[in-house]
Chains A and B, each alone.
Chain A
């Protein structure tokens, strides 16, 4: 059983991501954040658990969409993320990446991808580099269940398996590939079974339990670092929001969202902690502390100068 302190740290990290997304929702409603934004509410346990198992000073994370949570879980400051979404000069990518194409390599986050599944072969390449540079780096490619039908993902899994590359392929299975149930798009009941087609291990894990994710990813990291090659993990979770802000989710059957809300990881871990003897007041304090941090980061980002258009041509070539 993990120590309560570790679970509280998971809770705080998940709560930071949730509060961030709630603030983004508000900023989108006021028009401060524009464009298409894909929130990760409900899936926080995957990011927090996985990042806790990685050594982000050398390992590399390559998420697909819903990247705010990954970037925060890697340790990037909320202020720099807000600033990025708000098109500020202080944005983590200076306003060039935006919500769906964030990168924060200084925190081990090597680039969200807004092309579904396209990060998988790039992660394989990062792992390929590791087999030559002696860094011991492990690359983690994260993508949704819908990406499991992308050719690039299959090519990456086969390439990684053939060369025993230190890659973890992590599917965030939230049951919907954009607006369509994944069950309507595949004829296997468990996506991780596809791992066997490439000669690598696969497993389904509880994606709403950060500790379960941490343990599974830690084992995959150990295996990858030992030279035994890639793993495919299918983390089961649910979105408790739409595919994008503004998605009315008419396609979700009645009861589906309620079930997701009942199982979502933050409430669940809070209940577990109460059961372990943690006081409600301690949880309230944690929540208030994170809320202040997020409100402050958002306010500071809103006050920052917008990105300077005279720099728009910079950084295209070396």
Chain B
């Protein structure tokens, strides 16, 4: 029976993991410092005690973690592997891109790797260049993988469960700036949702703003601010960048005639460009050129003041939306 609890984003992830471990005896949870320490962000607290050896710590060996997940998944387990920071996944990208994503295809479905990778990304004040990147486009580029970025407490719970229940390899990219940013009412229990599907976070008639991940909160702030100026932005949370809910984007853009895509990742080669291309290919009549907002083509600096100049701010987003509507 569904129940509602007041939880932080981190506690929502924890609740999803607890439910998965309880309902799926084949589920395993492992990664660096996830068991006895409870995770460096406290996300996996208490799970080792409750589920014993199905929750375990690994060496600092991303290839072993992800390759181990591929092998265990091929043999009926439901591994949930934590990669502490998304940047660290690059150490073992082979196991995701060359291995996990290929297993089902090349074996014509006689093998599969239903694993879930939990990681977190994004910039937070003081984080260095190797702990700040937004890498969803890397993963979204790979056929065979599925990628989601929960931006709300409820989605932190729901999307993770969808990922674990999914029979394909899924990467869940959380955001550490959200982990302990406050509590919200989260509905626990209930049906596990299928993979995919965008969500309208704020309805509006003037412009569609597609976003995902932590940047969504700045987008909503900008949209609220602009409402005072008579601009009603529709904020659409992609939630999944693969599969991307293009139908939802097109339906919204058909109504508004304008599109702004806002993400924290670099614009060059990013998912935003892919969305703009798809909208262009669909031949929708736009009232103004579509816009991408993202980090400029540079590395991410450590100093908070410098980083702030790179990550799109509420002001930058508001300005881009305004320009788009007034164009």
Contact = CB atoms under 8 A, between A and B. Distances in A.
Interface string A153-181: 00110110011000000000000000000
Given A105-B111, A121-B95, A129 B67 contact: no
A155 B73 contact: no
B71 A124 contact: yes
A45 B301 CA distance: 56
B64 A96 contact: no
B92 to A, nearest CB: 8
A139 B71 contact: yes
A106 interface: yes
Contact of B71 (A103, A121, A133): A121
B68 interface: yes
B327 to A, nearest CB: 39
Interface residues of B, number: 46
B107 A105 contact: yes
Given A103-B110, A115-B98, A318-B104, A121 B64 contact: yes
A110 B76 CA distance: 13
Contacts of B106: 93, 96-97, 101, 103, 111
Contacts of B146: 317
B99 interface: yes
Contacts of B109: 315
A158 B59 contact: yes
B134 to A, nearest CB: 24
Given A97-B106, A155-B63, A318-B167, A122 B70 contact: yes
Contact of A133 (B75, B104, B105, B144): B75
B108 A94 contact: yes
Contacts of B166: 318
B67 A128 contact: no
Interface in A87-102: 93-94, 96-97, 101
Contacts of A93: 106-108
Interface in B102-122: 102-112, 114
A62 B111 CA distance: 13
Nearest to A123: B71
B77 A132 contact: yes
Contacts of A318: 104, 112, 114, 166-168
A118 B74 contact: no
A94 to B, nearest CB: 5
Nearest to A165: B68
A60 interface: yes
Interface in A249-281: none
Contact of B61 (A94, A96, A158): A158
A121 B108 contact: no
Contacts of B154: none
B72 A126 contact: yes
16 contacts: A96-B107, A105-B107, A111-B103, A115-B94, A121-B67, A125-B68, A125-B69, A125-B70, A125-B71, A127-B71, A128-B72, A132-B26, A155-B63, A158-B59, A159-B68, A318-B166
Closest 6 CB pairs of A and B: A125-B71, A121-B67, A318-B167, A129-B75, A159-B64, A155-B61
Interface of B: 26, 28, 54, 56, 58-59, 61-64, 66-77, 79, 92, 94-95, 98-99, 102-112, 114, 143-144, 146, 166-168
Given A111-B103, A118-B98, A122-B99, 10 more contacts: A103-B111, A110-B74, A118-B94, A121-B68, A122-B71, A125-B68, A125-B74, A126-B74, A128-B68, A159-B59
